Amino acid sequence: MTIVRWDPFRELNAVQDRVNRLFGELYRVSDDDVMRRGTWVPPVDIYDTGNQELVIKAELPDMSKEDIDITVENSSLTLKGEKKMDSAIRDEHCRRIERAYGTFSRTFSLPPTVDTGRVSADYKNGVLTITLPVREEAKPKQVQIHVQA
């Protein structure tokens, strides 16, 4: 008979690995994601409209559309940009700065049902809205039932 050393944390580590894989597949956020984001991170909302499209809304106040770059490649969407401080404001005149400035980069994994060829974006009142429509073949279809007599 072989003697097996009992490790009380083995099962706990296995459970933690399973949970990490589960959440990793859902959100695809890695441990070093914070390091790749940039100096500030614009907040986003991601939701399904119910009209077979996914929407990403990002708060990008005081930015022009020239300062924002959206790239769709493979199965990911990357949002990059730079929020610049007003050039009229000089450091010696500043008493307090609480708003974040600088470059940012966020990458989102897209589900395979998104039609990457029809992605569109609107920028209004400091909010960027990216619409990701679902491919036609991925949309649910109604199946008719034929009754035979």
| Whole-number Å distance between alpha carbons of 32 and 73 | 20
Note the pLDDT tens digit of each residue in 93-110.
778 878 888 899 999 999
CATH at residue 132: 2.60.40.790
The answer to whether residue 26 sits within a structural domain is no
The answer to whether residue 70 sits within a structural domain is yes
The answer to whether residue 22 sits within a structural domain is no
pTM of the model: 0.64
The answer to whether residue 19 sits within a structural domain is no
| Structure-block tokens of residue 90 | 């000089």
The answer to whether residue 58 sits within a structural domain is yes
The answer to whether residue 59 sits within a structural domain is yes
Question: What is the dihedral sign for C-alpha 27, 32, 38, 39?
Answer: positive
More confidently predicted of 9 and 72? 72
Structural domain including 42 reads: 32-138
The answer to whether residue 17 sits within a structural domain is no
Look up residue 146 and give its DSSP letter: P
- Count of domains for the chain: 1
Q: In the chain, helix, strand, coil percent, each to 5?
A: 25, 35, 45
